Structure 1
């Protein structure tokens, strides 16, 4: 009887393994396709002749960035400080793109710019060009009204559903395939140092909801409040923990958080609850209007990896953490299943090459207040 039952299960197991293999093949194909499309888009943008209209600080930064970024293939063919000279400069330089970076209060030459567009010249603001070149948002230059009334930072339901399906499918498959590895890591942690196998911490999720994030412990436990940045805790990181961190294996248990609906595979990294007030206050200071950028960051589910992780180095100060907010908001603005696949491809590449990714950090509080414990992020 038992033999019959086992025999009847063999086809089911085969079907599941076959389905898993098909999913892996499809996912890899999509990732490679995303990478190819990205290269094609970059080639199409190469060889651009750029005319800069205006010389405000952001415009000057763009000029310098184009000069540094030889990979872009862009060239600044002229800078127009006086809008009355725009017509002559257009005829002399014949640009492919006009970047408008006029100071506040300067009259915008609408007629000439519309005529340029009719001639096939791309016209865009300095804020959009900055975003295109850096993959982050120039928060100080964004008008407060455009943020309040814009739908750009409200992810579409379609994108939320598709990214959730992608995360749920890959998390379930990943957990199934990595189960033997998870078991080996858990045993190794237990044998390597005293303390629990898992590190569990309250984190901030979508719309400010909190959840318990789970990951493999990589540090020796301490009594009481400890903290601040990872550089101050290097003596606590175990030898095994260093290896786990290098290849991001300590994050694998968060696949459970994904299956529970608390996280996606891709999204802004969730910060500890104890750091929320400090981070939110610092984010408000990025704009004269005290815009609550941190709450905008929470408009999408947090992720195991994210745009900030593949685009920015490890943050080891509050200022650097705010720099990552610019990348996080870029992701919120452009959230899509295709961007998720691109981020996953870059993450997998970085992990296999052992380059590692940036980690969210804990923020110390001033005065005598206790500092949150940093077991990484």
Structure 2
């Protein structure tokens, strides 16, 4: 007799607790209705002038945008959903207020702020109630290259003793689908899981989703195709980068002037450090940075460590808070860089890496960035061994090139800037 397997999160209460549609259908009336009820009373829906309608519509859109963004970001490794709730909702409501302000549409600040507070409480409540359900529970087929997955904290991985789930409900089954020693009864088991709507994942796919890196030692033709970023988003991102740089430049210009004066008073030499870097489509460009090292000391093209004796007193401060990167706003305006993307390497280092690191030049398929996935996950790497790992992060970014991943990187970078601590 063939056993029927049941997938995890398939019961009605789990669907209600974790389903996005239910989350939105129940949440929007609450975040809109409670502040409106407190301000306008029980009959607020009987009379909806533009001020009330605009306010309620803005709350609903901000809530929906927050729900979709948090849901999409949660799919990436290290998303830290609890840490992203406050900045995501705050940004969504700030955008809503900005749109109402610049379009000169009336709205009620008290109700909009109430909707913001209720949204925060709703999302945090949903996070704590569904926390134990969100951790992946996967059954592992004990053949091939699957043992390196064991011991991770991001997922509950259970090694199967036989071709049977034994009544355990799981989110999916992990197997090395290229394993040469996979017995026929296990292949039948995987087929039966698929018929029961339990997904079967290749071990490399799960490794990528847990580590945030793409293994580059043996890329297939299908993986090369998935590493081709969408041209539509490349164009959209270029427009957003340019607009953001234009808006930020007047705000950051006084800071840049202050940093330039501090550098000039601290040590001899030019204020800016200009270096040829390898850019988009492998075209070299001149990248601008504030000088953070002594001008008259020789050494490697890269920083040896945070205690590098070449770093000046002011240099340590501006490097800690990433102020040395501010002049790259001009690189963004020129179209040479983006706010988010693989960190550009010097031309000399790029030529060195290409001799020792497979597929290195493929990272130039998108514009380099001031910050990126490798920087917030791993930090700075100069040696070939570290660069190989960094390249795996860069390939993950290219493969999942999207607005949602960029938002997640921006939030992680903001936390690093705020604390002055994090990956370099």
Question: Is the TM-score greater than 0.5?
Answer: yes
Matched, 1:52 2:127: no
Q: How far apart are residue 48 of structure 1 and its match?
A: 3.4
- 1:260 matched to 2:360? The reply is no
Match of 2:244 among 163, 166, 170: 170
Q: Distance in 2 between matches of 1:94 and 1:180?
A: 58
1:64 aligned onto 2:154: no
Q: In the alignment, does 2:184 pair up with 1:105?
A: no
1:273 corresponding residue in structure 2: 347
* Paired position in structure 2 for 1:318: 384
In structure 1, the residue matched to 2:274 is: 200
Q: Where does residue 127 of structure 1 map in the other structure?
A: 204
In structure 2, the gaps of 5 or more residues are 1-60, 75-80, 82-125
Query: For the residues of structure 1 that align with 2:219 and 2:270, how far apart are their CA atoms?
Result: 48
- For 1:207, what is the secondary structure of its paired residue? helix
What's the CA shift for 1:63? Answer: 1.4
Partner of 2:231: 157
Within the alignment, does 1:294 sit opposite 2:375 as a pair?
Answer: no
For 2:288 and 2:302, the matched residues in 1 are separated by 20
Distance 1:188 1:226, change over 3 A: same
Alpha-carbon distance between aligned partners in 2 of 1:133 and 1:115, rounded to the nearest angstrom: 26
CA distance in 1, matches of 2:67, 2:319: 26
Q: Could you tell me which residue of structure 2 aligns to residue 22 of structure 1?
A: none
1:348 maps to which of 385, 404, 414: 414
User: Structure 2 residue aligned with 1:117, among 194, 198, 203?
Assistant: 194
Question: CA 1:352–1:223 in 2, change beyond 3 Å: closer, same or farther?
Answer: closer
Q: Does the CA-based 8 Å contact 2:278-2:284 persist in structure 1? A: yes
Distance 1:32 1:256, change over 3 A: farther
Per the alignment, do residues 32 and 183 of structure 1 end up closer, same or farther by CA in structure 2, a change over 3 Å counting?
A: farther
Distance 1:222 1:193 in 2: 10
> Corresponding residue for 1:290?
none
Contact (CA 8 Å) 2:143, 2:181: kept in 1 or not? no
| CA shift in 2, pair 1:78/1:234, >3 Å | closer
For this pair of structures, how many residues does the alignment match? 308
CA–CA separation in structure 2 for the residues paired with 1:345 and 1:155 = 22
Q: 1:105 offset after TM fit, Å?
A: 2.2
Counterparts of residues 5-16 of structure 1 (less than 5 Å): none
Give the aligned partner of residue 144 of structure 1: 220
Report the 3-state secondary structure (helix = DSSP H, G, I; strand = E; otherwise coil) of the residue aligned with 1:271.
Answer: coil
* Within-5 A mapping of 1:244-255: 244-255=318-329
Match of 2:402 among 331, 336, 347: 336
Contact 1:264 1:301 in 2 (8 A): yes
- The whole-number CA distance in structure 2 between the counterparts of 1:346 and 1:255 is 19
8 Å CA contact 1:55, 1:103 repeated in 2: no
Shift in CA distance, 245/300, structure 1 to aligned 2, threshold 3 Å: same
CA distance in 1, matches of 2:275, 2:173: 49
Whether the 8 Å CA contact 1:136–1:326 is kept in 2: the answer is: yes
The 5 Å alignment of 1:359-374 reads none
CA offsets per residue over residues 263-307 of structure 1, 9 Å max, x none? Answer: 0100000000011221112212xxxxxxxx212111110000000
Partner of residue 313, structure 2: 239
CA–CA separation in structure 2 for the residues paired with 1:216 and 1:137: 33
5+ residue gaps, structure 1, are: 1-25, 285-292, 359-377
The answer (yes or no) to whether the contact 1:31–1:341 under 8 Å persists in 2 is no
Cα distance in 1 for partners of 2:386, 2:357 equals 11
Match of 1:218 among 286, 292, 295: 292
Aligned to 1:96: 171
Displacement of 1:78 after TM fit? 3.0
Say whether the 8 Å CA contact 2:275–2:288 is kept in structure 1. yes
* CA distance in structure 1 between the aligned counterparts of 2:67 and 2:414, rounded to whole angstroms: 12
Q: In structure 2, how many angstroms separate the alpha carbons of the residues matched to 1:98 and 1:136?
A: 20
Q: Is the 8 A contact 2:357 2:384 kept in 1?
A: no
1:248/1:128 CA distance change after superposition, 3 Å: same
